[in-house]
Structures are given as structure tokens and as C-alpha cells.
Structure 1
Amino acid sequence: MTTIVEHHGTPVLVLDADGPTIAEPRDVLDQLIGAAYGRADVVAVPAERLDERFFDLGTGFAGEVTQKCVQYRMRLVILGDISRHTATGTALPALIREANRGRHVWFLADIDELATRLASSPGTS
């Protein structure tokens, strides 16, 4: 199940944590882009919906997912605790720090943190 909520004038598609795993590039188009296109500017994805390969940067899957979102001008937010993934190396924490400085991809704890970020960063451009 997905819902659309609005935070500070920005429509956000929030995916349910219990939905299908996003494991292939096609899933990004179907579950994220297709579901949000024309309805939301931001897609909030619970971390547990992402295949484990997303958090292993060597697979390239995180790059595929984020590139598709950027290509379709969709902001991507990964929600939830990913500390077990960040504890095993330095590449993922570095990516998260860099992403959270930008506007297109954020790694946040929960929807409340997303609302706070959107309050200071409205819009999609």
C-alpha cells in the first residue's frame, strides 16, 4: 500500500514497509516512478523494502535506483534504521553524508525527519 501525504507544499508518496522488495531496475520504474509520476515529487521508501544489494555499493544497484529517480526528476528518500549496513564499512556512510547534503537523495530516520527537511527545502528543483 502507498499513500500520498503533503509536507510543506511538497507531495510525498510513502511506500508501506510491508510491500514487495525493490530488487531490480524494473521495480524502481513500477513501484517508485510509476506510482508517483504526476502525483508526488518525493518518494519515501522504507529501507526494508530495498534489496540488500542496495546497501552494498559494489553491486551498483544503489546507483541504478538513484539514477532512475534523478532521471525522472523524482526525489528519493530512504527511511529507517540502516545502521547494520553502515557499520561494516566507510563507503556507504560517506555516500549517505554526501547525499544528505544534496536535494535529490536523502537517508532519514522517519517521516517526521522528512517533514523537517522539506520545511527547509521545498520544491523539487
Structure 2
Amino acid sequence: MDTLQKINGVPVLMCGTEGETIAGEREALDCIANASYQGADWAVIPVERFDEAFFRLSTRVAGEIIQKFVQYRVGVVVLGDISRHTEAGTALRDFVRECNRGRQTWFVADADELRDRLTGAGA
């Protein structure tokens, strides 16, 4: 179940692990609409909710999904352990590093790391 929370004063939609698999633009737009409706600046989506294709950059799924969040000005956080995906090659590892340098898309291991990122991040 998705719930609205405030983390360090920032409204965040915490998406539950159960729910629709985010496999493309349609599911991303559903999540964006829910976040916007609830007044969230960020959507935090557990890694389990993403289709496996999201983690293979050659499919372009990750780019399409993230672009929708950028377009609608809702930050997106991929929450959880993605090490099995990043160990498979350098492309995803580099992509994650670049995303985490920015202020729109983050890959974080757990809620503590998210809280740290939202502290003073101007999110």
C-alpha cells in the first residue's frame, strides 16, 4: 500500500512492495499521478516493483520511466539492493552513480540512506 510520509519535512510517497510492476511509461504515469494527487515531491519505489528490463539499460526502459518523472517534476527513488544488477556490468553502475549525483533520481539501499539524502538536499 502506498502511503504519504514526511521525511525531514519533504512529502514523500512511499510505494508498497506489493502493487503493479513498473514496466514502462504507463505504470510510471500512474505512480506520478498518485504522488502528485497526494502532494508528494518524491515517489519512493521498492526495487521489487520494477520489471527486470528496467535494470538492463539496453532496453531503454529505465530512461523512459525516469524521463516521465523528470517531465512531471516528481523525484523518483529506487529503494533497495540492486547489487545483483550492478555486478553484472559497468553500464548500470555508471548510470546509478550519475543519477545519485543529481537531484531528481536516486538509487538508495534503505530508508536511512533516503533520510540522509533528503536532509539538506534542497529536495
Q: Which bin holds the TM-score, normalised by the shorter protein?
A: over 0.9
Per the alignment, residue 9 of structure 2 pairs with 9
Which residue pairs with 1:100 in the alignment?
100
Q: Superposed, which structure 2 residues align to 1:36-75 within 5 Å?
A: 36-38=35-37, 39-75=39-75
Do 2:11 and 2:41's aligned partners in 1 also have CA atoms closer than 8 Å? yes
Measure, in 2, the Cα distance between the counterparts of 1:10 and 1:122: 9
Distance, in Å, in 1 between the alignment partners of 2:24 and 2:108 is: 22
Aligned length: 122
Distance in 2, Cα, partners of 1:118 & 1:24 = 26
Which amino acid counterpart does residue 64 of structure 2 have in structure 1?
Answer: E
CA distance in 2, matches of 1:49, 1:111: 16
- In the TM superposition, residue 120 of structure 1 has moved relative to its aligned partner by 2.3
Identical pairs, percent: 52
Say if 1:10 and 1:122, in contact at 8 Å, map to a contact too.
Answer: no
Secondary structure of the residue aligned to 1:107 is strand
Q: Which amino acid aligns with 1:111?
A: A
Q: Is the 8 A contact 1:86 1:93 kept in 2?
A: yes
1:29-54 residue CA offsets vs partner (Å, 9 max, x unmatched): 11x11110141000000011000010
Structure 2 residue identity aligned to 1:81: D
Quote the Cα distance in structure 2 between the aligned partners of 1:34 and 1:69.
10
Secondary structure of 2:100's partner? helix
- The residue type paired with residue 33 of structure 1 is I
Query: Which structure 1 residue ranges, 5 or more long, are not aligned?
Result: none
Structure 1 stretches of 4+ moved >3 Å: none
TM-score, structure 2 normalization: 0.95
Unpaired runs of 5+ in structure 2?
A: none
Matched residue of 2:44: which SS?
Answer: strand
Aligned counterparts of 1:103 and 1:45: Cα–Cα separation in 2: 16
- Report how far residue 111 of structure 1 moved: 1.6
- TM-score, normalising length from structure 1? 0.94
